Structure 1
Protein backbone atom coordinates (compact mmCIF):
# COMPACT_ATOMS: atom_id res chain seq x y z
CA UNK A 1 0.00 0.00 0.00
CA UNK A 2 1.29 3.48 -0.87
CA UNK A 3 2.36 5.78 1.96
CA UNK A 4 -0.25 8.36 0.92
CA UNK A 5 -3.08 5.87 1.53
CA UNK A 6 -1.48 4.23 4.55
CA UNK A 7 -1.04 7.51 6.43
CA UNK A 8 -4.80 8.22 6.26
CA UNK A 9 -5.59 4.73 7.57
CA UNK A 10 -3.16 5.30 10.45
CA UNK A 11 -4.61 8.76 11.12
CA UNK A 12 -8.22 7.59 11.50
CA UNK A 13 -7.28 4.42 13.40
CA UNK A 14 -5.27 6.48 15.90
CA UNK A 15 -8.15 8.93 16.26
CA UNK A 16 -10.47 6.09 17.28
CA UNK A 17 -7.94 4.56 19.68
CA UNK A 18 -6.83 7.79 21.35
CA UNK A 19 -10.32 9.25 21.31
CA UNK A 20 -11.39 6.27 23.42
CA UNK A 21 -8.43 6.69 25.81
CA UNK A 22 -9.99 9.60 27.69
CA UNK A 23 -13.03 7.65 28.83
CA UNK A 24 -10.76 4.77 29.90
CA UNK A 25 -8.74 7.20 32.02
CA UNK A 26 -11.95 8.56 33.51
CA UNK A 27 -13.06 5.07 34.57
CA UNK A 28 -9.63 4.14 35.92
CA UNK A 29 -9.59 7.30 38.06
CA UNK A 30 -12.70 6.12 39.92
CA UNK A 31 -10.57 3.80 42.05
CA UNK A 32 -6.98 4.98 41.49
CA UNK A 33 -5.22 8.33 41.91
CA UNK A 34 -3.98 10.31 38.87
CA UNK A 35 -0.31 9.65 39.70
CA UNK A 36 -1.02 5.91 40.02
CA UNK A 37 -2.87 5.85 36.70
CA UNK A 38 0.07 7.57 34.97
CA UNK A 39 2.73 5.30 36.48
CA UNK A 40 0.84 2.02 36.01
CA UNK A 41 0.02 2.96 32.42
CA UNK A 42 3.72 3.38 31.64
CA UNK A 43 4.69 0.15 33.43
CA UNK A 44 2.00 -1.93 31.70
CA UNK A 45 3.01 -0.50 28.32
CA UNK A 46 6.71 -1.15 28.98
CA UNK A 47 6.01 -4.78 29.94
CA UNK A 48 3.92 -5.33 26.79
CA UNK A 49 6.52 -3.75 24.48
CA UNK A 50 9.45 -5.64 25.99
CA UNK A 51 7.56 -8.91 25.45
CA UNK A 52 6.97 -8.22 21.75
CA UNK A 53 10.10 -6.23 20.93
CA UNK A 54 12.96 -6.86 23.38
CA UNK A 55 15.37 -7.72 20.55
CA UNK A 56 14.77 -4.28 19.04
CA UNK A 57 16.92 -2.76 21.79
CA UNK A 58 19.96 -4.28 20.03
CA UNK A 59 19.25 -2.22 16.89
CA UNK A 60 19.47 1.08 18.77
CA UNK A 61 22.83 2.84 18.46
CA UNK A 62 24.52 4.90 21.15
CA UNK A 63 23.77 8.19 19.36
CA UNK A 64 20.03 7.40 19.46
CA UNK A 65 19.67 7.01 23.22
CA UNK A 66 19.84 10.71 24.09
CA UNK A 67 17.04 11.57 21.67
CA UNK A 68 15.01 8.52 22.72
CA UNK A 69 15.18 9.71 26.32
CA UNK A 70 14.25 13.28 25.39
CA UNK A 71 11.52 12.10 23.04
CA UNK A 72 10.09 9.64 25.56
CA UNK A 73 9.98 11.89 28.60
CA UNK A 74 8.57 15.03 26.93
CA UNK A 75 6.22 13.10 24.63
CA UNK A 76 4.96 10.30 26.89
CA UNK A 77 6.19 10.22 30.50
CA UNK A 78 5.14 13.67 31.70
CA UNK A 79 1.98 13.88 29.52
CA UNK A 80 0.77 10.56 31.03
CA UNK A 81 0.61 12.20 34.46
CA UNK A 82 -0.57 15.61 33.22
CA UNK A 83 -3.54 14.09 31.39
CA UNK A 84 -4.45 11.85 34.32
CA UNK A 85 -4.64 14.89 36.64
CA UNK A 86 -6.58 16.91 34.04
CA UNK A 87 -9.18 14.19 33.32
CA UNK A 88 -9.67 13.83 37.08
CA UNK A 89 -10.86 17.47 37.24
CA UNK A 90 -12.52 18.22 33.89
CA UNK A 91 -14.73 16.19 31.52
CA UNK A 92 -12.88 13.72 29.32
CA UNK A 93 -14.44 15.27 26.21
CA UNK A 94 -13.13 18.74 27.14
CA UNK A 95 -9.66 17.29 27.80
CA UNK A 96 -9.62 15.77 24.33
CA UNK A 97 -10.63 19.10 22.82
CA UNK A 98 -7.76 20.92 24.51
CA UNK A 99 -5.44 18.26 23.13
CA UNK A 100 -6.20 19.71 19.69
CA UNK A 101 -3.67 22.46 20.37
CA UNK A 102 -0.93 19.94 19.47
CA UNK A 103 -0.78 20.65 15.68
CA UNK A 104 -0.50 24.40 16.27
CA UNK A 105 2.33 23.85 18.76
CA UNK A 106 3.97 21.38 16.38
CA UNK A 107 4.01 23.96 13.62
CA UNK A 108 5.25 26.77 15.89
CA UNK A 109 8.00 24.83 17.69
CA UNK A 110 8.99 22.96 14.53
CA UNK A 111 9.68 26.29 12.85
CA UNK A 112 11.34 27.92 15.88
CA UNK A 113 13.62 25.11 17.08
CA UNK A 114 13.91 22.46 14.35
CA UNK A 115 14.06 24.43 11.11
CA UNK A 116 10.96 22.85 9.58
CA UNK A 117 9.15 25.04 7.09
CA UNK A 118 5.43 25.18 6.40
CA UNK A 119 3.12 26.41 3.68
CA UNK A 120 0.66 29.27 4.05
CA UNK A 121 -2.19 26.81 3.46
CA UNK A 122 -1.00 24.69 6.40
CA UNK A 123 -0.98 27.69 8.72
CA UNK A 124 -4.50 28.65 7.63
CA UNK A 125 -5.66 25.05 8.14
CA UNK A 126 -4.19 24.93 11.64
CA UNK A 127 -5.87 28.24 12.50
CA UNK A 128 -9.23 27.03 11.13
CA UNK A 129 -8.92 23.91 13.26
CA UNK A 130 -7.98 26.06 16.23
CA UNK A 131 -11.13 28.18 15.75
CA UNK A 132 -13.19 25.00 15.98
CA UNK A 133 -11.27 24.03 19.11
CA UNK A 134 -11.86 27.43 20.76
CA UNK A 135 -15.58 27.20 20.05
CA UNK A 136 -15.66 23.76 21.65
CA UNK A 137 -13.80 25.01 24.73
CA UNK A 138 -16.00 28.08 25.22
CA UNK A 139 -19.20 26.10 24.87
CA UNK A 140 -17.81 23.41 27.13
CA UNK A 141 -17.08 25.99 29.83
CA UNK A 142 -20.64 27.29 29.49
CA UNK A 143 -22.21 23.82 29.73
CA UNK A 144 -19.91 22.74 32.60
CA UNK A 145 -19.37 25.89 34.74
CA UNK A 146 -18.24 23.87 37.77
CA UNK A 147 -15.23 22.33 36.03
CA UNK A 148 -11.81 23.35 37.41
CA UNK A 149 -10.26 24.84 34.29
CA UNK A 150 -6.92 25.47 36.04
CA UNK A 151 -6.14 21.88 35.09
CA UNK A 152 -6.61 22.78 31.43
CA UNK A 153 -3.10 24.28 31.70
CA UNK A 154 -1.80 20.75 32.34
CA UNK A 155 -3.05 19.71 28.91
CA UNK A 156 -1.50 22.80 27.32
CA UNK A 157 1.88 21.80 28.78
CA UNK A 158 1.38 18.24 27.52
CA UNK A 159 0.62 19.45 23.98
CA UNK A 160 3.89 21.39 23.95
CA UNK A 161 5.62 18.17 24.97
CA UNK A 162 3.85 16.34 22.12
CA UNK A 163 5.00 19.02 19.69
CA UNK A 164 8.64 18.55 20.69
CA UNK A 165 8.15 14.77 20.58
CA UNK A 166 6.97 14.79 16.97
CA UNK A 167 9.72 17.13 15.78
CA UNK A 168 12.50 15.28 17.64
CA UNK A 169 11.40 11.99 16.13
CA UNK A 170 11.17 13.39 12.61
CA UNK A 171 14.58 15.08 12.72
CA UNK A 172 16.77 12.81 14.87
CA UNK A 173 15.18 9.34 14.94
CA UNK A 174 14.04 8.93 11.35
CA UNK A 175 16.56 6.11 10.75
CA UNK A 176 15.06 3.87 13.49
CA UNK A 177 11.99 1.75 12.83
CA UNK A 178 8.81 2.57 14.75
CA UNK A 179 8.93 -0.45 17.10
CA UNK A 180 12.57 0.21 18.07
CA UNK A 181 11.72 3.82 18.95
CA UNK A 182 8.73 2.82 21.06
CA UNK A 183 10.52 -0.02 22.88
CA UNK A 184 13.50 2.24 23.54
CA UNK A 185 11.25 4.99 24.92
CA UNK A 186 9.51 2.75 27.43
CA UNK A 187 12.67 0.85 28.37
CA UNK A 188 14.03 4.19 29.59
CA UNK A 189 10.80 5.26 31.30
CA UNK A 190 9.88 2.12 33.21
CA UNK A 191 12.34 2.53 36.10
CA UNK A 192 11.34 6.16 36.87
CA UNK A 193 7.67 5.10 36.59
CA UNK A 194 8.25 2.25 39.06
CA UNK A 195 9.76 4.63 41.63
CA UNK A 196 6.88 7.08 41.14
CA UNK A 197 4.40 4.26 41.82
CA UNK A 198 6.46 3.15 44.81
CA UNK A 199 6.27 6.70 46.17
CA UNK A 200 2.46 6.54 46.16
CA UNK A 201 2.40 3.55 48.58
CA UNK A 202 0.43 1.63 45.94
CA UNK A 203 2.02 -1.72 46.85
CA UNK A 204 1.17 -1.32 50.55
CA UNK A 205 -2.37 0.04 50.22
CA UNK A 206 -3.78 -1.67 47.09
CA UNK A 207 -6.60 -4.11 47.80
CA UNK A 208 -7.99 -6.50 45.14
CA UNK A 209 -11.55 -5.14 45.31
CA UNK A 210 -13.81 -5.20 42.26
CA UNK A 211 -13.39 -1.46 41.75
CA UNK A 212 -9.59 -1.58 41.96
CA UNK A 213 -9.36 -4.58 39.64
CA UNK A 214 -11.63 -2.85 37.14
CA UNK A 215 -9.37 0.19 37.35
CA UNK A 216 -6.35 -1.96 36.52
CA UNK A 217 -8.26 -3.53 33.62
CA UNK A 218 -9.02 -0.10 32.13
CA UNK A 219 -5.37 0.90 32.49
CA UNK A 220 -4.24 -2.37 30.86
CA UNK A 221 -6.46 -1.66 27.82
CA UNK A 222 -5.23 1.93 27.78
CA UNK A 223 -1.59 0.80 28.03
CA UNK A 224 -1.54 -2.04 25.51
CA UNK A 225 -3.82 -0.59 22.82
CA UNK A 226 -3.97 3.15 23.57
CA UNK A 227 -0.25 3.56 24.28
CA UNK A 228 1.82 0.57 23.13
CA UNK A 229 0.25 -0.33 19.77
CA UNK A 230 -0.84 3.25 19.08
CA UNK A 231 2.66 4.62 19.74
CA UNK A 232 4.18 2.17 17.27
CA UNK A 233 1.59 3.22 14.70
CA UNK A 234 2.09 6.92 15.43
CA UNK A 235 5.88 6.69 15.16
CA UNK A 236 5.47 5.01 11.79
CA UNK A 237 2.99 7.69 10.72
CA UNK A 238 5.52 10.42 11.51
CA UNK A 239 8.11 8.63 9.37
CA UNK A 240 5.87 8.34 6.29
CA UNK A 241 4.27 11.80 6.55
CA UNK A 242 5.02 15.23 8.02
CA UNK A 243 5.01 16.37 11.68
CA UNK A 244 1.95 18.55 11.07
CA UNK A 245 0.00 15.76 9.33
CA UNK A 246 0.84 13.35 12.16
CA UNK A 247 -0.15 15.76 14.92
CA UNK A 248 -3.42 16.61 13.15
CA UNK A 249 -4.79 13.35 14.57
CA UNK A 250 -5.53 15.45 17.65
CA UNK A 251 -8.16 17.33 15.63
CA UNK A 252 -10.09 14.09 15.09
CA UNK A 253 -9.72 12.73 18.62
CA UNK A 254 -12.35 15.08 20.17
CA UNK A 255 -15.04 13.78 17.83
CA UNK A 256 -14.52 10.24 19.16
CA UNK A 257 -14.04 11.39 22.75
CA UNK A 258 -17.17 13.57 22.72
CA UNK A 259 -19.20 10.62 21.41
CA UNK A 260 -18.00 8.51 24.35
CA UNK A 261 -18.69 11.43 26.68
CA UNK A 262 -22.29 11.71 25.49
CA UNK A 263 -22.81 7.98 26.00
CA UNK A 264 -21.41 8.40 29.52
CA UNK A 265 -23.75 11.28 30.35
CA UNK A 266 -21.52 14.29 29.66
CA UNK A 267 -23.30 17.33 28.22
CA UNK A 268 -22.55 18.19 24.60
CA UNK A 269 -24.44 20.75 22.47
CA UNK A 270 -25.20 21.07 18.77
CA UNK A 271 -22.67 23.92 18.53
CA UNK A 272 -19.95 21.56 19.75
CA UNK A 273 -20.76 19.08 16.98
CA UNK A 274 -20.67 21.95 14.46
CA UNK A 275 -17.30 22.93 15.85
CA UNK A 276 -16.14 19.38 15.19
CA UNK A 277 -16.96 19.88 11.50
CA UNK A 278 -14.83 23.03 11.48
CA UNK A 279 -11.98 21.00 12.96
CA UNK A 280 -12.32 18.42 10.16
CA UNK A 281 -12.13 21.26 7.61
CA UNK A 282 -8.89 22.40 9.25
CA UNK A 283 -7.43 18.88 8.99
CA UNK A 284 -8.33 18.76 5.30
CA UNK A 285 -6.72 22.14 4.62
CA UNK A 286 -3.52 21.23 6.48
CA UNK A 287 -3.08 18.03 4.47
CA UNK A 288 -4.57 18.96 1.07
CA UNK A 289 -2.32 18.03 -1.84
CA UNK A 290 -1.08 20.70 -4.24
Structure 2
Protein backbone atom coordinates (compact mmCIF):
# COMPACT_ATOMS: atom_id res chain seq x y z
CA UNK A 1 0.00 0.00 0.00
CA UNK A 2 1.42 3.41 -0.99
CA UNK A 3 1.89 6.20 1.56
CA UNK A 4 -0.63 8.32 -0.34
CA UNK A 5 -3.26 5.61 0.12
CA UNK A 6 -2.28 5.20 3.78
CA UNK A 7 -2.65 8.88 4.59
CA UNK A 8 -6.16 8.99 3.12
CA UNK A 9 -6.97 5.85 5.09
CA UNK A 10 -5.74 7.44 8.31
CA UNK A 11 -7.74 10.59 7.57
CA UNK A 12 -10.93 8.58 7.03
CA UNK A 13 -10.48 6.50 10.20
CA UNK A 14 -9.63 9.52 12.36
CA UNK A 15 -12.64 11.43 11.06
CA UNK A 16 -14.85 8.44 11.86
CA UNK A 17 -13.40 8.04 15.36
CA UNK A 18 -13.37 11.69 16.40
CA UNK A 19 -16.65 12.47 14.65
CA UNK A 20 -18.29 9.64 16.62
CA UNK A 21 -16.97 10.79 20.00
CA UNK A 22 -19.73 13.38 20.43
CA UNK A 23 -22.59 10.88 20.10
CA UNK A 24 -20.72 8.55 22.50
CA UNK A 25 -20.66 11.34 25.10
CA UNK A 26 -24.36 11.95 24.56
CA UNK A 27 -25.18 8.26 25.07
CA UNK A 28 -22.93 7.97 28.12
CA UNK A 29 -24.72 10.90 29.78
CA UNK A 30 -27.88 8.78 29.95
CA UNK A 31 -26.26 6.68 32.70
CA UNK A 32 -23.74 9.01 34.33
CA UNK A 33 -23.54 12.68 35.26
CA UNK A 34 -21.38 15.17 33.39
CA UNK A 35 -18.75 15.20 36.15
CA UNK A 36 -18.71 11.41 36.27
CA UNK A 37 -18.26 11.26 32.49
CA UNK A 38 -15.35 13.71 32.56
CA UNK A 39 -13.65 11.85 35.42
CA UNK A 40 -14.21 8.35 34.00
CA UNK A 41 -12.97 9.37 30.55
CA UNK A 42 -9.78 10.71 32.13
CA UNK A 43 -9.26 7.61 34.29
CA UNK A 44 -9.90 5.10 31.50
CA UNK A 45 -7.59 6.95 29.10
CA UNK A 46 -4.89 7.13 31.78
CA UNK A 47 -5.02 3.37 32.35
CA UNK A 48 -4.77 2.72 28.60
CA UNK A 49 -1.82 5.10 28.11
CA UNK A 50 0.00 3.80 31.20
CA UNK A 51 0.09 0.27 29.76
CA UNK A 52 2.14 1.42 26.76
CA UNK A 53 3.82 4.69 27.72
CA UNK A 54 4.57 4.79 31.45
CA UNK A 55 8.29 4.02 31.03
CA UNK A 56 8.67 6.90 28.58
CA UNK A 57 7.96 9.57 31.23
CA UNK A 58 11.51 9.03 32.52
CA UNK A 59 12.66 11.09 29.55
CA UNK A 60 10.76 14.20 30.75
CA UNK A 61 13.22 16.68 32.23
CA UNK A 62 12.41 18.67 35.37
CA UNK A 63 11.99 21.96 33.48
CA UNK A 64 9.42 20.38 31.14
CA UNK A 65 7.15 18.95 33.83
CA UNK A 66 5.39 22.26 34.52
CA UNK A 67 4.52 22.53 30.82
CA UNK A 68 3.43 18.89 30.73
CA UNK A 69 1.15 19.65 33.68
CA UNK A 70 -0.36 22.73 32.00
CA UNK A 71 -0.74 20.77 28.76
CA UNK A 72 -2.63 18.04 30.64
CA UNK A 73 -4.93 20.48 32.42
CA UNK A 74 -5.71 22.62 29.36
CA UNK A 75 -5.58 19.91 26.70
CA UNK A 76 -7.36 17.03 28.44
CA UNK A 77 -8.60 17.48 32.00
CA UNK A 78 -10.83 20.58 32.00
CA UNK A 79 -12.16 20.14 28.41
CA UNK A 80 -13.34 16.60 29.26
CA UNK A 81 -15.71 18.13 31.84
CA UNK A 82 -16.65 21.16 29.73
CA UNK A 83 -17.77 19.02 26.78
CA UNK A 84 -19.71 16.69 29.07
CA UNK A 85 -21.50 19.62 30.75
CA UNK A 86 -22.26 21.25 27.38
CA UNK A 87 -23.82 18.08 25.96
CA UNK A 88 -26.34 17.95 28.81
CA UNK A 89 -28.06 20.85 27.02
CA UNK A 90 -26.99 21.02 23.36
CA UNK A 91 -26.99 18.44 20.57
CA UNK A 92 -23.90 16.35 19.87
CA UNK A 93 -23.74 17.53 16.24
CA UNK A 94 -23.63 21.18 17.31
CA UNK A 95 -20.89 20.34 19.80
CA UNK A 96 -18.78 18.82 17.01
CA UNK A 97 -19.12 21.87 14.78
CA UNK A 98 -18.20 24.23 17.62
CA UNK A 99 -15.15 22.04 18.27
CA UNK A 100 -13.95 23.08 14.80
CA UNK A 101 -13.13 26.47 16.32
CA UNK A 102 -9.89 25.02 17.75
CA UNK A 103 -7.68 26.12 14.80
CA UNK A 104 -9.15 29.62 14.97
CA UNK A 105 -8.56 29.84 18.71
CA UNK A 106 -5.00 28.61 18.14
CA UNK A 107 -4.34 31.57 15.84
CA UNK A 108 -5.81 34.00 18.39
CA UNK A 109 -3.96 32.57 21.41
CA UNK A 110 -0.73 32.31 19.43
CA UNK A 111 -0.98 36.00 18.53
CA UNK A 112 -2.23 37.35 21.89
CA UNK A 113 -0.15 35.26 24.31
CA UNK A 114 2.77 33.75 22.41
CA UNK A 115 3.45 36.69 20.02
CA UNK A 116 3.06 34.50 16.92
CA UNK A 117 2.34 36.79 13.97
CA UNK A 118 -0.97 36.46 12.10
CA UNK A 119 -1.76 37.40 8.51
CA UNK A 120 -4.76 39.43 7.35
CA UNK A 121 -6.20 36.26 5.84
CA UNK A 122 -5.96 34.49 9.21
CA UNK A 123 -7.65 37.39 10.99
CA UNK A 124 -10.44 37.37 8.41
CA UNK A 125 -10.81 33.60 8.87
CA UNK A 126 -11.13 34.04 12.65
CA UNK A 127 -13.81 36.72 12.25
CA UNK A 128 -15.68 34.58 9.72
CA UNK A 129 -15.53 31.58 12.04
CA UNK A 130 -17.03 33.47 14.94
CA UNK A 131 -19.80 34.91 12.75
CA UNK A 132 -20.70 31.35 11.80
CA UNK A 133 -20.60 30.34 15.47
CA UNK A 134 -23.00 33.13 16.43
CA UNK A 135 -25.43 32.09 13.67
CA UNK A 136 -25.20 28.45 14.67
CA UNK A 137 -25.91 29.13 18.33
CA UNK A 138 -28.74 31.64 17.74
CA UNK A 139 -30.52 29.37 15.26
CA UNK A 140 -29.97 26.37 17.50
CA UNK A 141 -31.63 28.15 20.40
CA UNK A 142 -34.57 29.00 18.12
CA UNK A 143 -34.84 25.45 16.75
CA UNK A 144 -34.52 23.82 20.20
CA UNK A 145 -36.16 26.19 22.71
CA UNK A 146 -36.05 23.48 25.40
CA UNK A 147 -32.23 23.48 25.25
CA UNK A 148 -30.04 26.11 26.90
CA UNK A 149 -27.69 27.22 24.14
CA UNK A 150 -25.67 29.32 26.56
CA UNK A 151 -24.00 25.97 27.28
CA UNK A 152 -22.27 26.38 23.91
CA UNK A 153 -20.00 28.72 25.84
CA UNK A 154 -18.50 25.71 27.61
CA UNK A 155 -17.33 24.32 24.27
CA UNK A 156 -15.96 27.69 23.14
CA UNK A 157 -14.01 27.83 26.43
CA UNK A 158 -12.74 24.28 25.81
CA UNK A 159 -11.49 25.27 22.35
CA UNK A 160 -9.55 28.15 23.92
CA UNK A 161 -7.90 25.66 26.28
CA UNK A 162 -7.09 23.34 23.39
CA UNK A 163 -5.48 26.32 21.67
CA UNK A 164 -3.29 27.02 24.72
CA UNK A 165 -2.32 23.36 24.74
CA UNK A 166 -1.26 23.39 21.09
CA UNK A 167 0.88 26.48 21.60
CA UNK A 168 2.45 25.09 24.79
CA UNK A 169 3.43 21.88 23.02
CA UNK A 170 4.80 23.75 20.01
CA UNK A 171 6.89 26.12 22.09
CA UNK A 172 8.01 24.12 25.12
CA UNK A 173 7.57 20.38 24.50
CA UNK A 174 8.81 19.81 20.95
CA UNK A 175 11.76 17.78 22.24
CA UNK A 176 9.47 15.11 23.71
CA UNK A 177 7.70 12.28 21.87
CA UNK A 178 3.90 12.63 21.53
CA UNK A 179 3.26 9.43 23.55
CA UNK A 180 5.55 10.73 26.30
CA UNK A 181 3.65 14.02 26.48
CA UNK A 182 0.27 12.29 26.53
CA UNK A 183 1.30 9.83 29.24
CA UNK A 184 2.84 12.62 31.31
CA UNK A 185 -0.40 14.61 30.95
CA UNK A 186 -2.42 11.76 32.44
CA UNK A 187 0.09 11.07 35.23
CA UNK A 188 -0.69 14.60 36.39
CA UNK A 189 -4.49 14.60 35.96
CA UNK A 190 -5.55 11.05 36.88
CA UNK A 191 -5.46 11.70 40.67
CA UNK A 192 -7.71 14.82 40.49
CA UNK A 193 -10.08 12.80 38.26
CA UNK A 194 -10.26 10.01 40.87
CA UNK A 195 -10.98 12.58 43.60
CA UNK A 196 -13.79 14.16 41.56
CA UNK A 197 -15.26 10.73 40.78
CA UNK A 198 -15.24 9.85 44.48
CA UNK A 199 -17.17 12.98 45.44
CA UNK A 200 -19.83 12.32 42.78
CA UNK A 201 -20.93 9.27 44.82
CA UNK A 202 -20.17 7.05 41.84
CA UNK A 203 -19.02 4.19 44.07
CA UNK A 204 -22.32 3.84 45.91
CA UNK A 205 -23.38 0.18 45.66
CA UNK A 206 -26.96 1.14 44.77
CA UNK A 207 -25.78 2.68 41.49
CA UNK A 208 -23.16 0.20 40.28
CA UNK A 209 -25.63 -2.48 39.18
CA UNK A 210 -27.90 -0.13 37.24
CA UNK A 211 -28.26 -1.22 33.56
CA UNK A 212 -27.95 2.37 32.27
CA UNK A 213 -24.70 2.78 34.20
CA UNK A 214 -23.26 -0.39 32.66
CA UNK A 215 -24.09 0.88 29.17
CA UNK A 216 -22.62 4.28 30.01
CA UNK A 217 -19.36 2.69 31.16
CA UNK A 218 -19.17 0.81 27.88
CA UNK A 219 -19.61 4.06 25.93
CA UNK A 220 -16.97 5.82 28.04
CA UNK A 221 -14.49 3.00 27.55
CA UNK A 222 -15.02 3.05 23.76
CA UNK A 223 -14.61 6.84 23.83
CA UNK A 224 -11.41 6.59 25.86
CA UNK A 225 -9.82 3.73 23.92
CA UNK A 226 -10.66 4.79 20.37
CA UNK A 227 -11.34 8.53 20.70
CA UNK A 228 -8.26 9.33 22.77
CA UNK A 229 -5.58 6.63 23.05
CA UNK A 230 -5.80 4.99 19.60
CA UNK A 231 -6.58 8.27 17.82
CA UNK A 232 -3.39 9.85 19.19
CA UNK A 233 -1.28 7.06 17.70
CA UNK A 234 -3.04 7.25 14.33
CA UNK A 235 -2.77 11.05 14.23
CA UNK A 236 0.96 10.91 14.97
CA UNK A 237 1.39 8.43 12.12
CA UNK A 238 -0.64 10.66 9.80
CA UNK A 239 1.64 13.61 10.56
CA UNK A 240 4.69 11.41 9.96
CA UNK A 241 3.65 10.30 6.46
CA UNK A 242 1.93 13.52 5.32
CA UNK A 243 2.05 17.20 6.29
CA UNK A 244 0.56 19.12 9.22
CA UNK A 245 -1.75 20.91 6.76
CA UNK A 246 -3.12 17.62 5.43
CA UNK A 247 -3.42 16.18 8.95
CA UNK A 248 -5.37 19.20 10.18
CA UNK A 249 -7.94 18.66 7.43
CA UNK A 250 -9.54 16.06 9.72
CA UNK A 251 -11.20 19.12 11.29
CA UNK A 252 -13.31 19.57 8.16
CA UNK A 253 -14.50 15.97 7.95
CA UNK A 254 -15.33 15.28 11.62
CA UNK A 255 -18.54 17.37 11.68
CA UNK A 256 -19.93 15.40 8.72
CA UNK A 257 -19.66 12.18 10.74
CA UNK A 258 -21.08 13.83 13.86
CA UNK A 259 -23.98 15.36 11.91
CA UNK A 260 -24.80 11.94 10.46
CA UNK A 261 -24.89 10.38 13.94
CA UNK A 262 -26.99 13.28 15.21
CA UNK A 263 -29.48 12.91 12.34
CA UNK A 264 -29.78 9.16 12.98
CA UNK A 265 -30.39 9.91 16.66
CA UNK A 266 -33.22 12.33 15.87
CA UNK A 267 -31.41 15.64 16.39
CA UNK A 268 -32.85 18.63 14.53
CA UNK A 269 -30.71 20.60 12.09
CA UNK A 270 -31.85 23.46 9.85
CA UNK A 271 -30.55 24.80 6.54
CA UNK A 272 -29.41 27.99 8.27
CA UNK A 273 -27.36 25.92 10.70
CA UNK A 274 -25.83 24.06 7.75
CA UNK A 275 -24.93 27.43 6.21
CA UNK A 276 -23.45 28.61 9.52
CA UNK A 277 -21.41 25.39 9.72
CA UNK A 278 -19.97 26.03 6.25
CA UNK A 279 -19.04 29.57 7.32
CA UNK A 280 -17.16 28.16 10.34
CA UNK A 281 -15.30 25.61 8.21
CA UNK A 282 -14.43 28.27 5.63
CA UNK A 283 -13.06 30.43 8.43
CA UNK A 284 -10.99 27.51 9.71
CA UNK A 285 -9.67 26.88 6.18
CA UNK A 286 -8.65 30.53 5.67
CA UNK A 287 -7.01 30.73 9.09
CA UNK A 288 -4.87 27.65 8.37
CA UNK A 289 -4.27 27.96 4.62
CA UNK A 290 -0.63 28.28 3.68
CA UNK A 291 0.30 31.42 1.77
Corresponding residue SS for 2:47: helix
Unaligned runs of 5+ in 2: none
Contact 1:97 1:254 in 2 (8 A): yes
Quick one: structure 1 residues 196 and 210, their matched pair in 2 at CA, closer, same or farther if it must change by over 3 Å? same
2:33 and 2:42 map into 1 onto residues whose CA distance is 14
TM-score (norm. length: structure 2): 0.87
Match of 2:132 in 1: 132
Match of 1:256? 257
Q: Secondary structure at the match of 2:45?
A: helix
SS of 1:273's equivalent in the other structure is: helix
Match of 1:91 in 2: 91
- More displaced 10-residue stretch of structure 1: 227-236 or 48-57: 227-236
Shift in Å, 1:267? 0.6
Q: Quote the residue 2:189 is aligned against.
A: 189
- Mapped to 1, the partners of 2:204 and 2:111 lie a distance apart of 48
Distance of aligned partners of 1:133 and 1:150 in 2 relative to their CA distance in 1, 3 Å threshold: closer
Mapped to 1, the partners of 2:196 and 2:140 lie a distance apart of: 33
CA distance in 1, matches of 2:273, 2:179: 36
Aligned length: 289
Residues 212-260 of structure 1: CA distance to partner in whole angstroms, max 9, x if unpaired? 1111010001111112223455577789966x98777555433322221
More displaced 10-residue stretch of structure 1: 119-128 or 248-257 = 248-257
Q: CA RMSD in A?
A: 3.0
In the aligned structure 2, how far is the partner of 1:119 from the partner of 1:8? Answer: 29
Separation in 1 of the partners of 2:67 and 2:4?
Answer: 27
Task: Work out the CA distance in 2 between the residues paired with 1:251 and 1:127.
Answer: 18
Indicate the SS of the match to 1:117.
Answer: coil
In the alignment, which residue of structure 1 is the partner of 2:224? 223
Q: Which residue of the partner structure matches residue 268 of structure 1?
A: 269
Q: Decide whether the 8 Å contact of 2:83 with 2:154 is kept in 1.
A: yes
Q: Is residue 152 of structure 1 aligned with residue 152 of structure 2? A: yes
The unaligned stretches of length 5 or more in structure 1 are none
* 8 Å CA contact retained: 1:38, 1:80: yes
Deviates more, 1:277-286 or 1:46-55: 277-286
Partner of 1:286: 287
